[in-house]
Structure 1
């Protein structure tokens, strides 16, 4: 049987063509965004508070539909897909939410394991992986604690572990180091880089931490006045890998 090309090899992980977004009758939050993320790329998204970073991320993980334009994942225009097809695509995307979205009645271990349980996997098949991941983010001794007893930084680390436990093809993180100290922030960044390198996971991280951006050789995108521009001040690779994003002047 011959499979469609996007099932054999995805030339593009994410593509936005002329994407604009507005809420109600307000002006466009995002305007005419063109963006291409190749499989295995690693990039940052920056911009002032209120610039639309979270809105852009929501478009990428299909929580919002654009007002105009097309969002495609893995070569598939999402506007043409059924609900079941969209659900299948979402399962290939891991998201680290700024507000954590942990379930208070579950332990840290149970929160991280939840995506695997939803997929129907038996605990014996993932227990070691979940425990190892929690130990790696510094929560090995807190895995049986519930979110209300954890600090903000600890909850952030649980949220990150939950997002990566399924080894997604795309990882989207909204301010993932905003509630941790610099040492832990660097450690979590190594986790993202390891996922990117070992599994060719496409990673995009929204952050205000320009110190963090300076540490990684990766393209940097900046939102300003609703437009997406390439930031040449940060990220040495941004000056070389021009195939990653179409710059909006």
Structure 2
């Protein structure tokens, strides 16, 4: 498979402090499923921010879709970002909008005619099992329901890559596994999926997933070959 992401000796520093990420080099293959593991504070979220263009590297090169992301002119960033779906750990749903309107938001931002929006939004509500919750606003939804709305919003534009930061951290184990199957279904349609997690019990739920581990700002297994024994745990 072609590489959709390539990091070359990437470093990331916030302000004048020590580097959060140091000498990170790896590639991600188009159409593959990846778990990014590591303890809290290891650098997972910072690495994901580079992937979805919320940050630019302090040094080194990040290539996305074959182009140097750090050299992209500002006017091209919105188009690039539409190729990447993001599921945030804290959901980031707009509380004053219904579930339907939260999911529809990326389509409206992209300029899709209103008459063409309803069908894909209804399809996404059905896909995440919330057909009857379209009119509900986020404060009335459970944590698991909010997370599924956030996932639907992230994938409604059929992104080439989906990045999810601890997407199962706020739900019970049964819901975590259900969410993981949603990501797997999307991956089977061709989307590259990157899921950051510290929940080792999930790591063998996707048989063909590749694993990368980050520790103290360094990727320890850039090949994605790291595996964990059945039943979870680091062994």
Would you call these one fold, judging by a TM-score over 0.5?
Answer: yes
| Runs of 4+ deviating beyond 6 Å | none
1:206 pairs, out of 189, 196, 208, with 196
Residues matched between the structures, number:
226
**8 Å contact kept, 1:108–1:146:** yes
1:28 pairs, out of 19, 25, 50, with 19
Cα-to-partner distance string for 1:43-87 (whole Å, 9 max, x where unaligned): 000100111110100011110111111111111002222112222
Residue in 2 aligned with 1:234? 228
1:82 matches 2:73: yes
**8 Å contact kept, 1:11–1:75:** no
CA distance in 1, matches of 2:13, 2:72: 22
Q: TM-score normalised to the size of structure 1?
A: 0.86
RMSD value, Cα? 1.7
1:185 matches 2:179: no
Structure 1 position 135, deviation (Å): 2.6
SS at match of 2:121: helix
Residue in 2 aligned with 1:240? none
Q: TM-score normalised to the size of structure 2?
A: 0.90
Residue in 2 aligned with 1:244? none
Structure 1 position 136, deviation (Å): 2.7
Alignment of 1:122-161 (within 5 A): 122-161=113-152
Unaligned runs of 5+ in 2: 231-235
**8 Å contact kept, 1:96–1:174:** yes
Structure 1 position 235, deviation (Å): 7.9
**8 Å contact kept, 2:41–2:216:** no
**8 Å contact kept, 1:112–1:162:** yes
Structure 1 position 149, deviation (Å): 1.4
